[in-house]
Each structure stands twice: as structure tokens, then as C-alpha cells.
């Protein structure tokens, strides 16, 4: 079996090809297999992926036993990060956040996203003939999605850059090809960052409790379920989770969509003539090249899955990307087809009780970011693969650096 860590040193095309081959080979051998990494089982099939994500009693999200006892800040922030907890704690936390992060709040971000996207595009330097090159993810998609999260929480403008740094550090806690748990030293290193970020955020939370404003921190501070509300450390954890969960995959999605359109000129022409097709394009990118390629769980008891017996305490790596290539559910899976009938059945946002809370926001960000790009530039060409950089984790698929050459559209002025 390929050691997935070895793939991370390859170029964009080679890495994608080798990774897809790894998943297709795995799925052909069976829906579930014991991994080459000890204590880990890998899930390749669509039905089995749904089974894992739909059964939180057997497949737990709680991996907090890894946090050293003396890392108190990490432990209490982890309580707010409900991605990594099970019911009943998860149910209460998710409901509290859902009450604050409403469809109305998400809709209110639309003009902010449009304005920020155009502001960022205005900063791109073009020569007199309207042509230029820039890094589409580092200079556009990433600052856009980071600022949206920062604005959502009412973080002062001057500190927005901190969010990107924070998210990158939190995401970098695992080594490149790691399928199992992060090691303790990596978690300890995070402790320092979390202490700094927590004290910064706690001050803002205190301010918002004293003087509520029109932002998510104030709404989180006021939300109640059965007479109980979030404490300050839980709010810090919620913010941390949004930073981790919300910023990177959303920016990678924009980059992957540009790459997908670049390699499918027929689809690009279709979308240029009808931008209302963009949501379909984004949906197919989520299926074809999802930003997050796996979900993880730990077995709470011994169980059987896809014909394999899995002991209690095993890590289960659910390959979302493999599930979305399962021929029993997605015909001609390697084809990028924006008109495929069962498009919405992808699992790029997960499934079950942990289904992505930010999915509507991610879809809206991608639609707006791409509409602004297509309106601004009549030509967008991805530059040779040497300049394209992946996120180091094997769990993230797509560019974090994407050099493009552009030509300004005549009507964009
Ligand atoms: C393209 C962008 C995104 C992708 C691909 C994505 C993907 C996912 C996936 C796969 C999960 C499930 C994790 C699991 O089952 O363990 C998840 C959960 C979550 N996502 Fe997203 N996400 C994206 C954007 C966002 C955004 C923009 C936000 C918030 C602003 C967000 C907030 C969350 C939260 C809070 C959870 C945890 C839900 C829970 O545990 O109940 N995500 N996301």
C-alpha cells in the first residue's frame, strides 16, 4: 500500500492522480479495510461512509482524551468545538450555535462578501493593457474567507490577519500523511497559540457581554437552550472551530473551482454565457474535488462494518472523496459533469449530526467569489503546475497557492 505521506512531495497533478488511484484501488478491494497505519481502518464505500457518519453511538467524534490534563485552555476551548464531541453535549452546543448563526445572519453577509471580493480584486495590479498575474488563493480566496469569518464575529479590522495565522497553525497540527491521531507534542505546541488566542478573544467576549453589538459573538453570548447559555470558554471554542472549519476549505473550494473550469473550457464557456449555472459548478467541484477528503471517528465499541470486524478504540478514516467516486451511486465518477442528476448526494459537507453548519455560507461565498472573478476578468488562465501549492495535509485537497494570468473584461472598466 502507498504511504500517503509520500504523495505530499509530488506536484499537483501527480499527487491528485496518485491519491485518486489509492482510493480507487482501495474501493475495488472492498468498502472497508485495515489501514497500513496501525490502529486505523479506512472506509472507501459510499454506503459504509453513511453508516459511520449516521451512527454516533458506535462511531464517536470525541477524541479529547488526547489532550494532556495540564492543558486546561485547550481542554475548555475543546468543549466549545463541538465537531469533536458526542451527544448530549454536541446536541446542546449545536443548538445554541444554530440559534445565533441563523439563515438571516448568513444572508446578511452577502453584501459584505460582494464588497470584500471587489475590494480584493481592486488591489490586483494590472498593466496598462489590463493583463496581470496574481495568486488567486493567497491574494483573493483566502483573505476573502478569513475576513468573512472575522466580520461575522465582529473582530476588529486590524486583527483580521491573525485569523489566517491561527487557522493555519491549528490545521497544521498533524503531520502530512497522518491518518490516526495527532501526537501529543503537536497538541502541546498548540497550547501556546490557544492561550494567546483565548486571552485575546475573552477580552472581546467580555466587551460584547457588557455592550452587545450586531455580531455573532454577541448573539452567542445571548443564546439560550433550556435556560442554559454558553460560557466564555465555550464561545472561544466555537470561534476556534469556525476558524478551523470555515476558512481553509472555503478558500480551497474557490481555488479548486477555478482549476476545474480551467481544465474544462467547455464548462467555462457554458458558465460564462449563464452565470446562474455557478451553483451547479460549485456542487460538482464539491463532489469531484472536495476540499476536505475525509472525516474521522473513533469506535466506541467493537463493531462490524463492510464485512470487517473493528475493535473498540480504533480510528476510522472515512474517505469522503472515495465515497463520491463509488460507481454504485455516481456513474462516470471521474467525469466533471455539472448536469449529473444526483449531484446533491455528495458528502463533502459530511452527513448526520455533524453535518456542516456553514454549508450555506460556503456555497454563497463560492458563488459570489466566482461571479466577481468572471465579471472582472474575461480570461483567467491557471499558470503552470510548478507554482501551484497544496495544503500539506493529505486531508485537504486543492490549492493554497494558485498563480493565474488574467485579462480584465472590457465592461469591467
Ligand atoms: C467548502 C467549505 C466547507 C467544507 C467542504 C466543509 C466541510 C465540513 C465537513 C465535512 C464537516 C463534518 C465534519 C464531521 O463530520 O466530523 C463540517 C462540519 C462543520 N463545519 Fe464545515 N465545511 C465548509 C465550510 C464551513 C464554513 C464556512 C463554516 C462556518 C462558517 C463551517 C462550519 C462547520 C461547523 C461548525 C461544523 C461542525 C458541525 C457539527 O459538528 O455539528 N464549515 N464541515
**Ligand 1 binding pocket includes 145 (Cβ within 6 Å):** no
What atom of ligand 1 comes closest to residue 97's alpha carbon?
35
**Ligand 1 binding pocket includes 298 (Cβ within 6 Å):** no
End-to-end CA distance of the chain: 54
For residues 83 and 61, the answer to whether their CB atoms sit within 8 Å is yes
pLDDT at 11 exceeding the cut of 60: yes
**Ligand 1 binding pocket includes 253 (Cβ within 6 Å):** yes
Question: Could you tell which of 95, 171, 245 is best to mutate to test the pocket of ligand 1, judged by most ligand atoms within 8 Å of the CB?
Answer: 245
Between the CA of residue 79 and those of 89, 99, 328, what are the distances in Å?
Answer: 9, 18, 38
Q: What is the CATH number of the domain that holds 246?
A: 1.10.630.10
Q: Which residues pair with 298 in a beta bridge?
A: 60, 315
**Ligand 1 binding pocket includes 395 (Cβ within 6 Å):** no
- What's the pLDDT at 178? 52
138-142, 209-213, 239-243: the lowest-pLDDT one? 239-243
| More confidently predicted of 272 and 151 | 272
How far apart CA 169 and CA 335 sit, in angstroms, is: 35
Give tens-digit pLDDT for 318-363.
999 999 999 999 999 999 999 999 888 999 999 999 999 999 999 9
**Ligand 1 binding pocket includes 84 (Cβ within 6 Å):** no
Neighbouring residues of 38: CB distance < 8 A, sequence distance ≥ 6: 180
How far apart CA 395 and CA 254 sit, in angstroms, is: 17
- Domain range for 116 is 4-412
**Ligand 1 binding pocket includes 144 (Cβ within 6 Å):** no
pLDDT at 412 exceeding the cut of 90: no
**Separation of 395 CA from ligand 1 center, angstroms?**
14
Strands (E), 306-375: 308-310, 315-319
* Number of domains composing the chain: 1
pLDDT at 73 exceeding the cut of 80: no
Give tens-digit pLDDT for 242-299.
887 888 899 999 999 999 999 999 999 999 999 999 999 999 999 999 999 999 999 9
Give tens-digit pLDDT for 315-329.
999 999 999 999 999
Give tens-digit pLDDT for 176-207.
445 555 556 666 667 777 788 888 899 999 99
| More confidently predicted of 284 and 15 | 284
**Ligand 1 binding pocket includes 237 (Cβ within 6 Å):** no
Between the CA of residue 292 and those of 235, 251, 278, 314, 406, what are the distances in Å?
Answer: 25, 12, 20, 21, 28
pLDDT at 76 exceeding the cut of 60: no
What 8-state DSSP symbol labels residue 327? T
Residues 115-127, mean pLDDT to the nearest whole number? 97
Between the CA of residue 326 and those of 23, 81, 305, 322, what are the distances in Å?
Answer: 10, 31, 17, 6
Confidence of residue 158 (pLDDT cuts 50, 70, 90): confident
Amino acid at each position: 500500500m502507498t504511504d500517503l505521506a509520500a504523495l505530499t512531495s509530488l506536484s499537483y497533478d501527480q499527487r491528485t492522480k496518485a491519491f485518486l488511484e489509492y482510493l480507487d484501488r482501495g474501493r475495488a478491494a472492498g468498502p472497508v479495510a485495515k489501514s497500513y497505519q496501525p490502529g486505523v481502518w479506512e472506509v472507501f464505500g459510499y454506503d459504509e461512509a453513511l453508516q459511520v457518519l449516521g451512527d454516533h453511538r458506535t462511531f464517536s467524534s470525541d477524541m479529547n482524551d488526547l489532550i494532556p490534563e495540564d492543558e486546561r485552555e485547550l481542554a475548555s476551548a475543546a468543549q466549545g468545538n463541538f465537531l469533536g464531541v458526542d451527544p448530549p453535549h454536541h446536541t446542546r452546543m449545536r443548538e445554541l450555535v444554530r440559534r445565533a448563526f441563523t439563515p438571516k445572519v448568513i444572508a446578511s453577509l452577502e453584501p459584505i462578501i460582494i464588497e470584500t471580493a471587489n475590494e480584493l480584486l481592486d488591489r490586483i495590479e494590472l498593466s496598462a493593457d489590463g493583463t496581470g498575474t496574481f495568486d488567486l488563493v493567497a491574494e483573493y480566496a483566502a483573505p476573502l474567507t478569513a475576513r468573512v469569518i472575522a466580520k461575522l464575529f465582529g473582530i476588529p479590522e486590524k486583527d483580521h490577519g491573525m485569523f489566517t495565522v491561527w487557522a493555519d497553525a491549528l490545521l497544521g497540527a498533524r503531520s502530512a500523511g497522518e491518518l490516526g491521531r495527532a501526537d501529543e507534542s503537536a497538541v502541546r505546541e498548540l497550547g501556546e497559540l490557544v492561550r494567546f488566542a483565548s486571552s485575546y478573544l475573552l477580552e472581546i467576549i467580555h466587551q460584547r457581554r457588557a455592550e452587545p453589538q450586531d455580531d455573532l459573538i454577541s448573539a452567542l453570548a445571548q443564546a439560550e437552550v433550556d435556560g442554559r447559555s454558553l460560557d466564555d470558554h465555550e464561545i472561544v471554542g466555537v470561534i476556534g472551530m469556525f476558524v478551523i472549519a470555515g476558512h481553509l476549505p472555503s478558500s480551497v473550494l474557490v481555488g479548486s473551482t477555478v482549476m476545474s473550469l480551467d481544465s474544462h473550457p467547455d464548462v467555462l464557456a457554458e458558465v460564462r454565457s449563464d452565470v446562474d449555472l455557478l451553483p451547479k459548478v460549485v456542487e460538482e467541484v464539491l463532489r469531484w474535488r472536495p476540499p476536505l477528503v475525509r472525516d474521522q471517528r473513533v469506535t466506541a465499541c467493537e463493531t462490524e462494518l463492510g464485512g470487517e470486524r473493528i475493535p473498540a478504540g480504533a480510528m476510522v478514516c472515512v474517505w469522503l472523496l472515495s465515497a463520491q467516486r463509488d460507481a454504485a451511486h455516481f456513474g462516470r465518477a471521474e467525469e466533471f459533469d455539472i448536469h449529473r442528476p444526483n449531484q446533491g448526494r455528495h458528502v463533502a459537507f459530511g452527513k448526520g449530526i455533524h453535518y456542516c453548519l456553514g454549508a450555506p455560507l460556503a456555497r454563497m461565498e463560492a458563488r459570489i467569489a466566482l461571479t466577481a472573478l468572471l465579471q472582472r476578468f474575461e480570461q483567467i488562465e491557471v499558470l503552470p503546475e510548478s507554482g501551484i501549492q497544496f495544503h500539506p495535509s493529505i486531508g485537504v485537497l486543492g490549492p493554497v497557492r494558485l498563480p493565474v494570468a488574467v485579462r480584465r473584461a472590457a465592461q469591467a472598466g
